[in-house]
Structure 1
Amino acid sequence: MTRVEFYVLPDANPTGRLRAACQLAAKGWQHGMQVFIRCVDETQSSEVDELLWGFRAERFIPHEQHVDDPKAPVVIGVDQAPQFTQGLLINLGSTLSSHIDQFSRVIEIVNQEPQLLTACRENFRLYRRQGYDPKRVEL
């Protein structure tokens, strides 16, 4: 069954949330996982793309937008179906992905922004209703 975790950041900084997504994507890729970063929209997708280009000076993180290469090691998209199975989904969206079962692991990144907190709490309940056992991880 898919492992679901909510990584909780201590502040409401939206850029911190995107940086955490980049860190987790780098870590997943370094451990041999295919990574899909699910963004809210194309604007956020472009922001994540830019962050990944300059994220680590000493090591390039191979990534592409879904429209350019859906089979890249790290894929950035909105809600497209992944081209691989058993990878890592990093969900920056405020709703659940309709492709959860295609991943072995899902990470939701939560910060202290009130609207996002409300959405993530609802997602936590929805995961439970669907039979998952979501865990909370404090960052």
Structure 2
Amino acid sequence: MPRADFYLIAKPRFLGEPLRLVCELARKSYDAGLWTLILVRDDAQAEELDELLWAFDDDAYVPHQVAGTDEEDELTPVLIAPPQVDVPARALVINLRDEAFAGACERVLEVVPADESARGPLRERWKQYKASGFEVNKHDM
């Protein structure tokens, strides 16, 4: 059964910089040998995440790239995908977009902002994943 994990941001180190949590999730997945697809909202978020993955931890190396910038996409363990780039799903998907991930995967991670107004749509997404047969979990970060 596929899983959907919702990470609710609460800790101060993630409040101001939610993409830092995305970097830590990507590092954990890479360390576990899981090839990861990060679905970003737009090109600006792709660039911001790309830069942060290089700099967020001096001791961590997470091989990554923005999809469509190099023909080696399928050889890169962590792939950042803007909406206009069509890429195949991977076992692990980190979804930063506004709609639920509808493709096939073993696990999808949703990062939930601390802002209460942003949580309403994510409650709907929770229901969508449950209705699609996902095992749904919540983690306070």
Q: CA deviation at 1:83?
A: 3.8
Instruction: State the partner residue of 1:5.
Output: 5
Read off the aligned partner of 2:68 and give its amino acid letter.
V
Instruction: State the partner residue of 1:70.
Output: 73
Structure 2 length as normaliser, TM-score?
Answer: 0.85
Instruction: State the partner residue of 1:121.
Output: 123
1-structure distance, mates of 2:44, 2:116: 21
C-alpha root-mean-square deviation of aligned residues, in Å?
2.0
For residues 70-109 of structure 1, the C-alpha deviation after alignment (integer angstroms, 9 at most, x for no partner) is 2211000124454464x2111111211232x1x2111101
Aligned residues: 136
Q: CA deviation at 1:2?
A: 1.4
Structure 1 vs Structure 2: percent identity of aligned residues? 28
2-structure distance, mates of 1:131, 1:39: 24
Structure 1 length as normaliser, TM-score?
Answer: 0.86
Q: CA deviation at 1:14?
A: 6.3
Instruction: State the partner residue of 1:89.
Output: 93
List gaps (5 residues or longer) in structure 2: none
- State how 1:36-51 maps to structure 2 within 5 Å: 36-51=37-52
Instruction: State the partner residue of 1:17.
Output: 18
List gaps (5 residues or longer) in structure 1: none
Which 4+ runs in 1 deviate beyond 2 A?
Answer: 11-16, 78-85
Q: CA deviation at 1:52?
A: 0.5
